[in-house]
Structure 1
């Protein structure tokens, strides 16, 4: 079995991804996650072909990623280079790929359908100022139920176990 990685190259926190959370919960409970288990705000806004894919992911920086993320051009670029932990490590940052992604998000209004993508810019800023480890610890606290410790995800308004609300993310409002 692979080890989970919650950091990504672009600054998105994989530990709060509904796909990864559903898969990890399935491993822990011995069940196979189903598309009907995912919040509709997330599942219904993915490309149609992604909705047919297996719900399985260990995070962006692993060899086992969700089909919808496997084609990410930022991920492909970073994996080809040596020593790249985030886009910030690349001498070309911000490169045309990052600029194209930002332009496409605005042009196609992707962030209205998938608002978790709004967090990328602020996450990269925290990583730049404080380092990946600090950011990972901050994200873990943000995406963990303060009452029972259960993992929260981008599109869950409350804890699936105790129904309490976690820390409200300041960068977007999907929960």
Structure 2
């Protein structure tokens, strides 16, 4: 059995998580590199594990995710199995839009939930594992990886979303360093 859990509560596929991939392999896509340069420890085993990435907690990251907290409190495996689904927490369009602008991979959640509902979690996980492997050499890659770390193949057209990670959005939101004087 793997020490990693690729299933999430909300429908995100954790197996393509930039932080988890960096923790597993040492290979960093632009998202993981941004957090690494910010001094965050790149450690995560999946949002259903006890080791989740805390570095982006200020921005609603896995460690402080309200959906994760809610599902754990209610004892549900995923939002789909909750009798209140879809709830305001899951459907909050203002938050969803903001997150989608910052993290385009989050736009796949609704489609992923439909796939899980239609095919079941096991088939979804198999489908996602195949999607997030290089078609030439089968090396796994993360959300914002542009080229395969093993063979160099361009992976830009393989993602189910168009945008790339824009670190400037996060740099604008990064809390000030307490050691630096205020301007």
Verify same fold: TM over 0.5.
yes
Give the structure 2 partner of residue 73 of structure 1. Answer: 66
Give the structure 1 partner of residue 90 of structure 2. Answer: 98
CA–CA distance in structure 2, aligned partners of residues 159 and 88 of structure 1? 33
CA–CA distance in structure 1, aligned partners of residues 105 and 154 of structure 2? 17
1:67-146 aligned at under 5 Å gives the runs: 67=54, 68=56, 69-82=62-75, 84-100=76-92, 102-106=93-97, 109-146=98-135
What is the TM-score when the length of structure 2 is the normalising length? 0.76
Q: CA deviation at 1:99?
A: 2.1
Q: CA deviation at 1:147?
A: 1.9
1:1-175 aligned at under 5 Å gives the runs: 3-26=3-26, 38-40=28-30, 44=34, 51-67=38-54, 68=56, 69-82=62-75, 84-100=76-92, 102-106=93-97, 109-166=98-155, 168-174=158-164
Unaligned runs of 5+ in 1: 27-36
Unaligned runs of 5+ in 2: 57-61, 166-183
User: Quick check: 1:4–1:62 contact (8 Å CA) kept in 2?
Assistant: yes
> For this pair of structures, how many residues does the alignment match?
158
Residues 142-151 or 160-169, more deviating:
160-169
Q: CA deviation at 1:11?
A: 0.6
What is the TM-score when the length of structure 1 is the normalising length? 0.80
Q: CA deviation at 1:122?
A: 0.6
Larger radius of gyration: 2
CA RMSD of aligned residues (A): 2.5
